[in-house]
Amino acid sequence: MKIYTILVLLFFLLFSQFKLKAQNTEVIGDSIELSIEGYKGGQIQWQQSTDSTNWVDIVGAQKRSISLQILGCTYYRAIITLEKCSFTSKVSSIKAYTYVLTNLMADYPRNRILNFTWTDPSSPDFTGVSISNKNDSSVTFIPKGKQTASFNLNSRFDTTSFIFKPVFTDSQILQKDTLIKISDDYQRFFSQPNHYIAHRGFSAKYPENSILAFSKAAEIGCNYVECDIQRTKDNVLVLCHDDSINRVSNGKGAIADMTYAELLQYNFGYPVAFQNKFNVPIASYEDFLKTCKDNNLYPHIELKIDLTDAQAQKLIDLTLRYLPPYHFCFHSYIYNPLQLIRKYNKKIILEFINSTYTDDNLNYTLLLYPSSYDVSYTDFMSGDNIDLVRLNKLLSACSQNGIFAQFFTIDDKSLADQFISNGVKCIYTNNPLFK
């Protein structure tokens, strides 16, 4: 009897100070970690209850700390047994509330409007959501019950983040912030520092559409390059502006009538322009993609050919094998291949090329969104001067619809700079040295 009494006293001394770490707590989320403070030893069994009267053992919960999935209000306690003695902890009530956000992200926020929706926590202490926009450091409070917010992203950005923080009248409630990162891939593509596009590579000094011309463009600091795609008789994609090799090689004939192996027999050093200075093979489209990847170039890829559904899918797959969708764009005078690409991919930027600006052409471009408008600079010239009225009409329409405009092809630095300073996003040029 004396020995048992001593054991009881020792047990009381060991465990009279132990308690649950989480006491009567509210949390945001559906999980909680429970632990015992002052634990000295013995077997642990955690129990739970929905009414604090009827208790059940939690299966597998015999450790000092446990993590649980919960929802609503649940009561917890721990029973510790040493020898023949048991001690029950104080009861801790845990109230868990869910905080759910939906429609969190828009890869290409159209017209710079970004919308968020969410479900409010069910806590009676909840008053609303505080939203911090890290792009401009603004903070917006949305009261309980509204569950939606819209942001006009006036400033262009590459990536930005929003932090959603639930607000409660009880400052002791554990809060779980949600960070949402928004990537504007459209802006990312057009935000490279050098706004001059090396037209067919550095073609003023090297054979157009050759790997050499693109490598040299990279060497002088170009971010953007432009190429032209044709298809051979054996369905290999190659780079050439014309549908024949007469102008740019020492051979003759239509590309569509020759195999890739046959084309490799000729010198594509553009002998008419450079005599026999260069000896380069015709470039395959895949070799061009490798060059862009290796040199971090952002290509504007002109489709000189129409596409079938299967060919469009194959072209997309091949390009994405080397470059992410924000790292290139397709453009063409032919509308059908652009439509097919949009059918199978919603993120790739597309550019509809036009010699003159019309409202119809611009509307066709907008149907391809994310898209931009390519047009000849000559349509905006009045003699030797820029027609600012006509230019501003186009740029205003583009701005209202959240797209950019590019002009081709200008080799005069002064004129190119004037267009850039007046709001044209990029200029195609054969001589990007004047960057």
CA distance 44 to 345: 56
Regarding whether 233 and 348 lie in a shared domain, the answer is yes
Tell me the residue type at 193: P
Q: Is residue 48 domain-shared with residue 105, that is, in the same domain?
A: no
* CATH at 328: 3.20.20.190
Q: Are residues 171 and 88 in the same domain?
A: no
Evaluated on CA atoms 330, 335, 338, 342, the torsion sign reads positive
229 and 378, same structural domain? yes
Please check whether residue 196 is in contact with residue 427, taking contact to mean a CB–CB distance below 8 angstroms. Answer: yes
Distance CA 7, CA 432 (A): 90
CA distance 367 to 130: 36
- Asked whether residue 49 falls in the same domain as residue 87, the answer is yes
Q: Which helix (H) or strand (E) holds 301?
A: strand 298-303
Residues 6+ apart with CB under 8 A from 400: 111
What are the φ and ψ backbone dihedral angles of 9, each rounded to 5 degrees? -65, -40
Query: How many whole angstroms separate alpha carbon 343 and alpha carbon 367?
Result: 12
Same domain as 287, residue 210: yes
Residues 305 and 231 sit within 8 Å (Cβ to Cβ): yes
Strand, helix or coil at 373? Answer: strand
* One-character DSSP codes across 24-84: SEEEESSEEEEEEES--SSEEEEEEESSSSS-EEPTT--SSEEEEE--EEEEEEEEEEETT
The per-residue pLDDT for 425 is 92
At residue 197, φ and ψ (nearest 5 deg) are: -95, 120
CA–CA separation, 112 and 118 (whole Å):
20
Element (H, E) at 413: helix 413-421
Instruction: Find, among 299, 322, 286, the residue nearest to 226 by Cα.
Output: 299
Q: What is the CATH number of the domain that holds 29?
A: 2.60.40.10
- Digitized pLDDT (tens) for each residue of the chain, 435 residues in all: 333 333 333 333 343 444 555 555 655 555 677 787 777 778 889 888 888 889 999 888 888 888 877 656 678 888 888 777 777 777 776 665 555 544 455 444 555 677 888 888 777 778 988 998 877 788 999 999 998 888 876 555 556 788 888 888 866 565 667 787 776 788 889 988 899 999 999 999 999 999 999 999 999 999 999 999 999 999 999 999 999 999 999 999 999 999 999 999 999 999 989 998 999 999 999 999 999 999 999 999 999 999 999 999 999 999 999 999 989 999 999 999 999 999 999 889 999 999 999 999 999 999 998 899 999 999 999 999 999 999 999 999 998 888 899 999 999 999 999 999 999 999 999 998 754
Q: Is residue 72 domain-shared with residue 116, that is, in the same domain? A: no
In this structure, are 74 and 128 located in the same domain? no
The 10 Å CB-count burial string (b at 16+, else e) for 11-29 is beebbeebbbebeebbbbb
Q: Taking the CB of residue 170, how many other CB atoms lie within 10 A of it?
A: 10
Q: Which of 97, 127, 144 is the last residue of a domain?
A: 97
List the domain range (segments joined by +) for residue 50: 2-97
Could you tell me which of 362, 311, 370 has the C-alpha nearest to residue 336? 311
Q: Are 376 and 408 in contact (CB under 8 A)?
A: yes
Residues in the chain: 435
Mark whether 252 and 370 lie in a shared domain.
yes
Sign of CA dihedral 285, 290, 295, 298: positive
Q: Is 1 strand, coil or helix? A: coil
Out of 63, 97, 131, pick the residue that ends a domain.
Answer: 97
Token digits for 347?
Answer: 């993120």
DSSP-derived letter for residue 143 is: E
> d(Cα 148, Cα 141) in Å, to the nearest integer?
11
Do 299 and 409 reside in the same domain of the chain? yes
The neighbouring-strand residues paired with 116 are 149
370: cis peptide before it, omega within 30°? yes
Looking at the fold, whether 163 and 279 belong to one and the same domain comes out as no
CA dist 64 and 66 (Å) reads 7
Cα–Cα distance, 92 to 26 (Å, whole number): 11
Give the pLDDT confidence score for residue 20 in this predicted structure.
52
Q: How many domains does the chain have?
A: 3
End-to-end CA distance of the chain: 97
Q: Which of 79, 97, 115 is the last residue of a domain?
A: 97
What amino acid occupies position 374? D
CA 305, CA 1: separation in Å to the nearest integer? Answer: 100
Query: 279: alpha, beta or left, given left = phi > 0 and alpha = psi -120 to 50?
Result: beta
Query: Is there a single domain that holds both residue 250 and residue 390?
Result: yes
H/E run at residue 188: helix 185-190
Whole-number pLDDT of residue 6? 34
